[in-house]
């Protein structure tokens, strides 16, 4: 529960920072203008009525409503070498984790394949053993029935 709470708190703080940054950039772009009258809030507001009605199965772009262009939110590279090292370490750790995860997936798939192959070999060996046992048994029965056809004296008559 605390992990979810941390994620929600972090998301809320990030959203607030983005809104504050947008308001600051808007104020800086208009140096002669007064402070913005409406500060964006985290609460959703009602959209104004539009002449285009969007049906549930229809995409907003198909209805004539334009979507805002995605923004690149990457920060500039800092000059501090410690921050650069931290970022490089984080990137290397992420790369290592992804490589480790893919290697683990490969290993588990190889292991699963080897296990299924071993099971099929054991199954085939059991079938072969059973067939050999049955063949030996029938051969012994044939030999036993051949001996009973001989005379009790031990030698066959000519």
DSSP result, the chain: -HHHHHHHHHHHHHHHHHHHHHHHHHHHH-TTS-S-SS---SS--PPPP-SPPPPTTS-TTTTTPPPPPP---PPPPPS-HHHHHHHHHHHHHHHHHHHHHHHHHHHHHHHHHHHHHHHHHHHHHHHHHHHHHHHHHHHHHHHHHHHHTS-TTSS---
CA-wise closest residue to 62 among 73, 51, 54, 70? 54
Confidence (pLDDT) at 127: 96
Confidence (pLDDT) at 158: 45
How far is residue 60 from each of residues 28, 54, 143, measured CA to CA in Å?
A: 32, 6, 87
Q: How many CB atoms lie within 10 A of CB 62?
A: 11
CA-wise closest residue to 17 among 59, 81, 73? 73
Confidence (pLDDT) at 35: 47
Query: pLDDT (tens digit, 0 to 9) for every residue of the chain, 158 residues total?
Result: 677 777 778 777 777 777 677 665 566 555 554 444 444 555 555 555 555 555 555 555 555 666 666 676 666 677 889 999 999 999 999 999 999 999 999 999 999 999 999 999 999 999 999 999 999 999 999 998 887 656 555 555 54
Its pTM stands at: 0.36
Confidence (pLDDT) at 146: 80
d(CA 91, CA 83): 12
Q: Which residue has the tokens 């053993």?
A: 129
Confidence (pLDDT) at 134: 95
Dihedral of alpha carbons 75, 77, 83, 87, sign: positive
Confidence (pLDDT) at 122: 97
């Amino acid at each position: 529960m605390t992990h979810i709470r941390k994620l929600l708190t972090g998301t809320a703080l990030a959203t607030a920072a983005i809104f504050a940054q947008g308001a600051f950039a808007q104020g800086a772009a208009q140096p002669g203008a007064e402070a913005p009258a409406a500060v964006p809030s985290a609460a959703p507001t009602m959209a104004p009525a539009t002449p285009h009605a969007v049906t549930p199965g229809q995409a907003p772009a198909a209805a004539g409503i334009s979507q805002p262009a995605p923004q690149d939110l990457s920060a500039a590279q800092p000059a501090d070498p410690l921050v650069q090292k931290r970022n490089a370490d984080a990137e290397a750790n992420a790369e290592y984790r992804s490589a480790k995860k893919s290697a683990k997936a490969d290993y588990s798939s190889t292991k699963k394949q080897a296990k299924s192959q071993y099971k099929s070999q054991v199954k085939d060996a059991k079938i072969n053993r059973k067939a050999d046992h049955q063949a030996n048994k029938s051969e012994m029965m044939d030999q036993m029935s051949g001996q009973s056809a001989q005379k009790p004296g031990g030698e066959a008559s000519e």
